[in-house]
Amino acid sequence: MVEWVLAALRAVPRIGRIALVGPYPLPAPVAAQVDLAVPQQGGLLENAAAGLAALAGPAFSVPSAAVLIAAADIPLLTPRAVDAFLDAAAPIDADVWYAAVPREDVERACPGAAKTFVRFREGTFTGGSLILIRPEAFHRARPLIARAVQARKRPWELARLAGVRMLVGLATGRLRIADAEQQVARIAGIRARAVICHHAEIAIDVDRPETLALIRGALDDRQAPAAR
The secondary structure element, H or E, covering residue 219 is helix 209-227
What pLDDT is attached to residue 3?
A: 92
The residue length of the chain stands at 228
With b meaning 16 or more CB within 10 Å and e meaning fewer, what string describes 174-184?
ebebebbbebb
pLDDT, tens digit (0-9, with 9 covering 90-100), for 95-122: 999 999 999 999 998 887 778 888 999 9
Task: Find which of 10-24, 63-77, 154-168 is predicted with most confidence, using mean pLDDT.
Answer: 10-24
Closest by CA to 214, choosing from 197, 201, 195, 228, is 201
With b meaning 16 or more CB within 10 Å and e meaning fewer, what string describes 103-126?
bebbeebbeebebeebbbeeeebb
**pLDDT classification of 220: cutoffs 50, 70, 90:** low
Long-range pairs for 20-27 at CB < 8 Å and ≥24 separation? Answer: 20/51, 20/72, 21/47, 21/48, 21/50, 21/51, 21/54, 22/72
Q: Please provide the average confidence, as pLDDT, over all residues in the chain.
A: 85
What pLDDT is attached to residue 154?
A: 63
pLDDT, tens digit (0-9, with 9 covering 90-100), for 133-151: 999 999 999 888 788 767 6
Q: Distance between CA atoms of 192 and 181, rounded to whole angstroms?
A: 6
Query: How many Cα atoms within 13 Å fall on the side-chain side of residue 115?
Result: 29
The residue among 199 and 222 whose pLDDT is bigger is 199
Domains assigned to the chain: 2-206 (3.90.550.10)
What pLDDT is attached to residue 24?
A: 87
**pLDDT classification of 217: cutoffs 50, 70, 90:** low
Give me the DSSP letters along 33-102.
T-SEEEE--SSHHHHHHHHHHHHTSTT-S-TTS-EEEE-S--TT--HHHHHHHHHHHTTS--SEEEEEEE
**pLDDT classification of 40: cutoffs 50, 70, 90:** very high
